[in-house]
Structure formats: C-alpha cells, structure tokens
Amino acid sequence: MGTKAINKNGTIKVYQGVPKTLHASSGTYLNAPAMTDAQLRAAGLFDVVMPEDYDSQIHDLGEIFWDSANTQFTYPKTNKTWTQTLDELKTQKIANLKSNANSKLAETDWIIVRDNELGNTTEQSTLDDRAAIRTSCATKESEINALTTKASVVTYDTTL
C-alpha cells in the first residue's frame, strides 16, 4: 500500500502505508492493515497522492492538505529555484558527465596499460568501445551547453 494520511484535530499525520495501530477520532484500531479500504476511509485514513508530473529534482513540495474534491491528501508543488547561474549548473553537470566517462574508461584502462607495456596490440573492440565513450561524452557535453533552462540542465541524464 502507498502513503496514507489522517487528519487528527487539524494536524495531518502521514504514514508510509497503513500503521499497525490506527488512532482515529472514531476509535483505536489494533490491526489496521487487515482493514478494508472502505473501513480505513471510514476511520479517516486516506491515500496521499503526489502532484502530477512531480520531479524532486526540479520541484519542492509544500505542506500536505486535504483535497476534498478527490477525497485524498496531496501536496502542492512549486518549482525549485537555484542559487547557481545557468552556466554554473552546466559546468557542474559537465563535470559529472566527464566523471562518468572517466569511470567507464577506467574499466578498460588496465588493458591499455598492459598492452602498451608488453607491446601488444589492443583488441579493436576495446578501442572502439573507448572511442564510443569519448564520442558520447562529447555529444552530451554539446547537448548540455545547448540547454536554455536551469530545470533542463538539472534533469539532464549524464549516463553513458
């Protein structure tokens, strides 16, 4: 079960699922998880629904409230504000991207070093994989630099 909440004398109490013991204005229920949805609602325990399109990377949640039209609890969402400039966020995101690329390249660094030390020819597939990582990194860096909003930079996926 998802997140639930109950209004107790004007204070909304949020639970991660149905609590084992539910203290409601109508009484105390000792085995609340065994109750039906209708019984839980009758006791005042309702679903908590996240706002549509909520993304914790770019939104903050306000104070939970009762949505009587939909008989559920919900949170208002607001767009986050960042103290960094767009360019600072891009620089940060590109640094993360390059760190990801470096980690990927590090997986085969030992092969390159070994082959170099021993005078061996490195398998083409390894060289191709490493080139693909560098190409993907360069492409993503260009894409990051082309972004025009802070939210788009923050949510950009740097996975290679």
Contact 160, 137 (CB under 8 A): yes
Q: What is the pLDDT of residue 158?
A: 96
Contact 43, 7 (CB under 8 A): no
77: nearest Cα among 45, 55, 110, 47: 55
Which residue is listed with tokens 């996240």?
50
pLDDT tens digits, residue range 39-48?
999 999 999 9
pTM: 0.74
Helix ranges, 27-85 (H): 37-42
CB neighbour list of residue 110: distance below 8 Å, 6 or more residues apart: none
- The chain-wide mean pLDDT, for the chain, equals 96
Contact 136, 112 (CB under 8 A): no
Helix and strand totals (H; E) in the chain:
4, 9
In this predicted structure, the answer to whether residue 3 has a pLDDT above a threshold of 70 is: yes
The structural domains of the chain, with segments of one domain joined by +, span 4-79, 86-154
pLDDT tens digits, residue range 78-107?
999 999 999 999 999 999 999 999 999 999
Q: Could you give the CA distance from residue 74 to residue 5 in angstroms, rounded to a whole number? A: 9
Q: Which amino acid is at 141?
A: E
41: nearest Cα among 80, 70, 61: 70
In this predicted structure, the answer to whether residue 156 has a pLDDT above a threshold of 90 is: yes
Q: Could you give the CA distance from residue 132 to residue 130 in angstroms, rounded to a whole number? A: 5
pLDDT tens digits, residue range 63-72?
999 999 999 9
